[in-house]
Structures are given as C-alpha cells and as structure tokens.
Amino acid sequence: MNFVVQSKALLQQLQIVGGVIAGNSTLPILSDFLFEIKNGVLTITGSDLETTISASMTVNANENGKVAIGAKMLIDALKTFPDQPLTFSIQADQNAVSVTSETGRFKVAGHDPSEFPKLPEVEPTAQVEIDSSILSNAIHKTIFATGNDDLRPVMSGVLLEIGGDCTNFVATDAHKLVKYSRFDLKSDTVQSIIVPKKPLNVLKNILLSFDTPVKVQFNAMNIVFSFDNITVTSRLIDGKYPNYEAVIPKENPNQLTVDRTSFLNTLRRVSLFSNKTTYQIRLRIAGSELHISAEDLDFSNEAAEVIACSYSGEDMEIGFNSKFLMEMLSNMDGCDTVTVQMSVPNRAGILVPAEKADENEDIMMLVMPIMLNN
C-alpha cells in the first residue's frame, strides 16, 4: 500500500491527534498513531483508552489498508522537513513503513493495527450543536476549578447540564466553584453528564484554530465532539455530581465592586509574602477602601496595600486563598470590574462580573473563605 501526502498538512493533523497520546503508556500500541486509508481518505487516530481523537484528510493512495506507526518518531521527523510531498510505502504483512522524500528515505517502526483499541460505537440519546468559540470559552472558564482527588472522581470533570432555559457548565473541587451558563443553548430534553478534563483540555487547544459549529452527541457512557475533519470521543465519568446549588449563599448583603486588573495585580504582589501552605490573604473593607494584606510568620514576611473600591454593607474582614482568587480573576477576563458578594466572614464569597459583556452568558465563581487568626 502506497500513499502520497504533503508533509506540513500531515504534521498539522498529527499534532492535533497527538494531544491525546501519553508518552509513558504501559501499552506500547497506545504510543502509536493508527493510519487507515479508505477510498483515498487517510484517517489518523490516537487513543489513551479513555479518550480517542481522529482526523481525516484526502491523500493520493493506490489501495485501502491500515498500519500503526510510532507517534514520537514520526512527528519529530516531520518537523524537520520543508513542505514537500512524502510517499509512504507500507508492507502490510510485515507492518514495515518507509517514507520517501525529495532528498532521501527513512524507515519508521510499524505495528500490528489489529492491536489498536477499537473506537467505541456511540449511539447518541441526545445531541446539541455549539459554536466552537462558545465551547472553547466555556471550557476555559470552568476547567481550572476541577478537582484532582481520586477518591471523588466526579469532581475531576465538568458537569454539563443541557436543556430547559439554558445550558450550564459547572466545575468544583470543594474549595472553589464555577458555574458558566449559556442562554442561547437549549434542548427539549434535560440531560446531565460529567465530562473528564483531559478531552476538554485537548478540545480547548484544538478549537483555537477553528471557527465552526461543534456537534456534541452523547449517551450514558460516551460523548462525541465532531467538527470539520476532527472527531473527539471520550468516556463519561459515572456518578452523581454534588448538589452545587446548596453551597451557593442566597443572601449576600455585602457587595464589593472593584477594578479587576487592579485587584488581580495587587493580589499577585501581596500574595508573594503570604504563607506558602495556606496562601492566606486578608481583605478588610471599610468605606471606599479595600485593604489587602498577607503575612508569613515563619519567615517574618508581610505586605499590605490599599486600593479604591465601591462597597455597600457593613465593614468586614475576610480571609481567602490568594491562589484561588487570582485564578478566578484571571479567568474572568471578559470584564473590567468585578463584584464580590459576601454575607459573613465564615461563608463563601461569590465573584460575578459587574457588567455583562454578552446577554447570552452568565458566570458565577464561588470561593470558600479561610479562618483568620487575629
């Protein structure tokens, strides 16, 4: 079996698919790409058993066939070529692969394609179409809040609630929580699924290069994202997501509005002097001044700054993990000012944009407080 393909076009597809391949897999075949040619279309597939990515492209081929090829060696070799046609010659009986360029020839290790994991057959029970920029933005604004606790796997993914009046993307690690809602995404049937973070991270990176609708299909076990010539398939996380609405304080009479960039930059400076275990910073709000301070008693470090704010409510002091606050402010990059809603110092604080950039979206970020030592 022979086929001819442009080196740069092939490399571009390999780099997309390669995002799912783990370099330290215990199964050697998972370090390979599966090349499959059918009627002049080359489909390249990569998998880690949980997530599978396929990309298709048209090539000049003389017959159908398939082979598994080592991913790292092939990508490293293609990166060195200027754009030119490459001829792949595959001896199927020996899984031998040789590549001929304008200036030479090299061999790449081939493996038995029958060992490559089979792509799951997904019979969708529901589907929704999401614009690539909206999906990328939803992932960007939520995925940082997912957890890493193996004992609570449901919190290591993003909850996708489709249907009703809107579609919600929710992520939490029990210390922070993000709820991103889209009111222009609706469905007749209400569905809730938990999508692992790895395929979402891979998707987020791929979608930066595309401006196209993404078809999202899923059932109780798997989810498939299809757009352009790319298909991303993943297992869903099985389990019941925590009742996140129960932890969101409903009455928050203390409202702090502050410039997002000033708040973020001040936190970055002051947090350098905080305790490296708790990253605790203290917010003291009085009138139109926000006092931000931190100290590390072990090393006698401390810092304090004051920035202007708008505040309604009783004077208060509250402590937060500065890393969590900085993550949230960094990911709320679509607004100039933010409002921090608070009730009492031992209840969660809520961050929302002070002004809406898009009427079709809503975002709420929640962060648990840290008990202050007075």
Instruction: Give the CATH number of domain 126-245; options: 2.40.50.660, 3.40.50.720, 1.20.1250.20, 3.10.150.10.
Output: 3.10.150.10
> What's the pLDDT at 71?
93
Query: pLDDT tens digits for 104-142?
Result: 999 888 899 999 999 888 898 888 899 999 999 999 999
Full DSSP string of 195-230: EEHHHHHHHHHHHTT--SEEEEEE-SSEEEEEETTE
DSSP state of 32: E
> What's the pLDDT at 119?
84
284 pLDDT higher than 80? yes
> What's the pLDDT at 9?
96
CATH of domain 248-370: 3.10.150.10
> What's the pLDDT at 96?
87
Q: Where residue 374 falls among pLDDT bands split at 50, 70, 90?
A: low
Other CB atoms within a 10 A radius of the CB of residue 301 amount to 14
Query: pLDDT tens digits for 28-56?
Result: 899 999 999 999 999 999 999 999 999 99
Global confidence as pTM: 0.91
CATH superfamily of the 2-115 domain: DNA Polymerase III, subunit A, domain 2 (3.10.150.10)
373 pLDDT higher than 80? no
